[in-house]
Structure 1
Amino acid sequence: MNKVTESILKSDSIAITYHQSPDGDALGSALGLMLGLRKIGKEAYIISRDKVPGIYRFLPNTEEIKENASCPKKNTHCVIVLDCGNVERISGKIDKSKINPVINIDHHISNSKYGDINYVDTMASATGEIVYNLLKSLDVVMDTDIAKCLYTAIITDTGSFKYSSTTASTHLIAGELIKTGIDFPLIHRTIFENKPLRKLKLYGKLLEKVELFLNDKLAIIAMDKEHSTLLEDNSEIISLQMQIDTIEVGAFLKEVDDGIKISLRSKDKVDVRAIAEIFGGGGHEKASGILLRDMHDIEKAKKALINVLEKELI
């Protein structure tokens, strides 16, 4: 952490980015860090080739994130990559020969340590926790805008504090953020409860497509490219899928432009991070992701996943 803070203090212009298809932790951490760095006089901005999902546009300053504004500005002194386990998944375009240092801040155990400076705390429930501690070490005074961003980061990556990664420190940090005066019930409602009717109807159609395998311990939902653009965030449909009483692992397969994305969740016994790593993905023990590049055969991807999971579930 000392190396991270020293590099930040030496840098006047700082670009911030995160993983592709950013979730609440990635966006909340990035926006919170950007606002915090500005409070200590830094020119901080976000680079990204991804648009902000509609569910997170309530966060302050999201209008500054321009889709495909992915390259650092001239005279940028360092780039901070948040919540991203490997170079291939970085949303911003970074040329390490032109910018030094690249600071890698993450909480995924599968992180490949690709930065010039790496701070990976696998005990943190969310990258938002790490950013909170980083801003405190820089003597940044929390305001409601920063707190709203970091609280969003934490509640999305902990499933509102229900995942096993949640610790006493997670609750203490959340408490400090609430003390700033944020309307935390409104944040919860905005993220988890305010859904357009068309999205609920889409969830209904997807749940009708649930298939059970391996003695009903594996649930799979597959979505073709035609409908995948309707679903910005996979986490909610996976949470519904995981409520099936017999299953241990849930998988959501979605065809995208560059292949097939697979989101994995586990209830108890299976380390889905290890499963994801077999296919070149990564993440957490209970929640991981895979991108099968240049594959567009959902049935083939499904069979490959079942074959691997058979060893874990039978």
Structure 2
Amino acid sequence: MNRVIQNILHFNSIAITYHQSPDGDALGSALGLMLGLRKLGKDAYIISRDRVPDIYRFLPSAIEVSEDFASPKENTKCLIIVDCGNVERISGNIDISDSRTIINLDHHLSNNEYGDINYVDTSASATGEIIYSLLKGLNVPIDASIAECLYTAIITDTGSFKYPGTTSNTHSIAGDLINTGINFPLIHRRIFENKPLQKLKLYGQLLDKIELFLNDRLAILAINKEQGETLGDNAEIISLQMQIDTIEVGAFLKQVDEGVKVSLRSKEKVDVRKIAESFGGGGHERAAGFLLKDINYIEKAKETIISILEKELI
């Protein structure tokens, strides 16, 4: 952390990015860091090939993030990548072999430490916790705008503090953020209770397609490309899927141009991160994802997932 702090203080222009298809932790961490570095007088900004999902557009300065601004400025010599475990998933257009100093800040066990400086704290429930500690180390006063970003990062990656990675330190940081005066019930509503009626109706149609396998311990929900584009963020549908009483693992399969995206969740026994890593993906012990490349048929993807999990669940 001291090396991270020293380098941040050394550079004036700092670009920040995160993983592709950014979630609440990626966006909240990046925006919170950007706002904090600006308090130090830094020219901090975000580069991204992804647009901000609608549910996170309420975040302070989210309007500055654009998929049209994906490359660092020419005079920027420092790039900070948050919440991204490997180079392939970086959202910004960067070449990590160039002369820029790359700082990698993450909490994923699967992080392959691709930066010039790597700070990977796997005990942190969210990268937002790491950004909080970093800003404290930089003596940046955390105001309500920064707090709103970091609180969003933490509640999304902990599932509102219900996932096993949540610690007493997580709650302590959340309490400190709440003490800045943020309207935390409103943040919860904007993220978790802010869905159009049509999306809820779509959920109903999709939930009807759930199939159970391996003695009802594996639930698979598979959707085609058109349904995936309509659905957008899939976290909520996976959460609903995991409420089935008999299952240990839930698999959500979404057809994309490159193949089939797979999101895995488990309750207690299966380390889905290891499965994801074997396919070049990553994540956490209880939540992970990867891409089945060059598999264009949902049925073939189902067969692959069933085959893998058969060893774990029977």
- TM-score normalised by L of structure 1: 0.98
Alpha carbons 2:79, 2:101 under 8 Å: kept: yes
Shift of 1:259: 2.1
Alpha carbons 1:78, 1:99 under 8 Å: kept: no
Give the match's secondary structure for 1:164: coil
The answer as to 2:310 corresponding to 1:310 is yes
Instruction: Provide the C-alpha distance between the structure 1 equivalents of 2:5 and 2:296, rounded to a whole number of angstroms.
Output: 43
Shift of 1:55: 0.7
Aligned partner of 1:218 in structure 2 is 218
Aligned partner of 1:279 in structure 2 is 279
Instruction: Provide the C-alpha distance between the structure 2 equivalents of 1:279 and 1:211, rounded to a whole number of angstroms.
Output: 23
Q: Which amino acid aligns with 1:287?
A: A
Aligned partner of 1:255 in structure 2 is 255
Alpha carbons 2:17, 2:80 under 8 Å: kept: yes
Query: Which segment drifts farther, 16-25 or 269-278?
Result: 269-278
Aligned partner of 1:42 in structure 2 is 42
Instruction: Provide the C-alpha distance between the structure 1 equivalents of 2:159 and 2:311, rounded to a whole number of angstroms.
Output: 28
Over the matched positions of the two proteins, sequence identity in percent amounts to 72
Instruction: Provide the C-alpha distance between the structure 2 equivalents of 1:291 and 1:135, rounded to a whole number of angstroms.
Output: 34
Aligned partner of 2:10 in structure 1 is 10
Query: Which segment drifts farther, 243-252 or 230-239?
Result: 230-239
Instruction: Provide the C-alpha distance between the structure 2 equivalents of 1:95 and 1:222, rounded to a whole number of angstroms.
Output: 35
Q: How does 1:104-115 map to 2 (within 5 A)?
A: 104-115=104-115
Deviations 1:22-76 (A, max 9, x none): 0000000000000000000000000110011001101011111111321111100
Give the match's secondary structure for 2:195: coil
Aligned partner of 1:83 in structure 2 is 83
Aligned partner of 2:129 in structure 1 is 129
Instruction: Provide the C-alpha distance between the structure 2 equivalents of 1:259 and 1:90, rounded to a whole number of angstroms.
Output: 19
Shift of 1:94: 1.0
Aligned partner of 1:205 in structure 2 is 205
Instruction: Provide the C-alpha distance between the structure 1 equivalents of 2:99 and 2:24, rounded to a whole number of angstroms.
Output: 27
Aligned partner of 1:93 in structure 2 is 93
Shift of 1:252: 0.5
Q: How does 1:124-163 map to 2 (within 5 A)?
A: 124-163=124-163
Gapped regions of structure 2 (runs ≥ 5): none
Instruction: Provide the C-alpha distance between the structure 2 equivalents of 1:205 and 1:158, rounded to a whole number of angstroms.
Output: 27
Instruction: Provide the C-alpha distance between the structure 2 equivalents of 1:167 and 1:90, rounded to a whole number of angstroms.
Output: 28
Q: Which runs of 4+ in 1 moved over 4 A?
A: none
Q: CA RMSD in A?
A: 0.9
Deviations 1:68-123 (A, max 9, x none): 32111110021000000100000011123434211111000010111111000000
Instruction: Provide the C-alpha distance between the structure 1 equivalents of 2:250 and 2:97, rounded to a whole number of angstroms.
Output: 41
The answer as to 2:251 corresponding to 1:243 is no
Give the match's secondary structure for 2:231: coil
Give the match's secondary structure for 1:229: helix
Q: How does 1:179-194 map to 2 (within 5 A)?
A: 179-194=179-194
Alpha carbons 1:79, 1:99 under 8 Å: kept: no
Alpha carbons 1:266, 1:287 under 8 Å: kept: yes
Gapped regions of structure 1 (runs ≥ 5): none
Alpha carbons 2:39, 2:140 under 8 Å: kept: yes
Instruction: Provide the C-alpha distance between the structure 2 equivalents of 1:210 and 1:229, rounded to a whole number of angstroms.
Output: 19
Aligned partner of 1:54 in structure 2 is 54
Alpha carbons 1:100, 1:116 under 8 Å: kept: no
The answer as to 2:264 corresponding to 1:264 is yes
Instruction: Provide the C-alpha distance between the structure 1 equivalents of 2:114 and 2:129, rounded to a whole number of angstroms.
Output: 21
Deviations 1:114-142 (A, max 9, x none): 11110000000000000000000000001
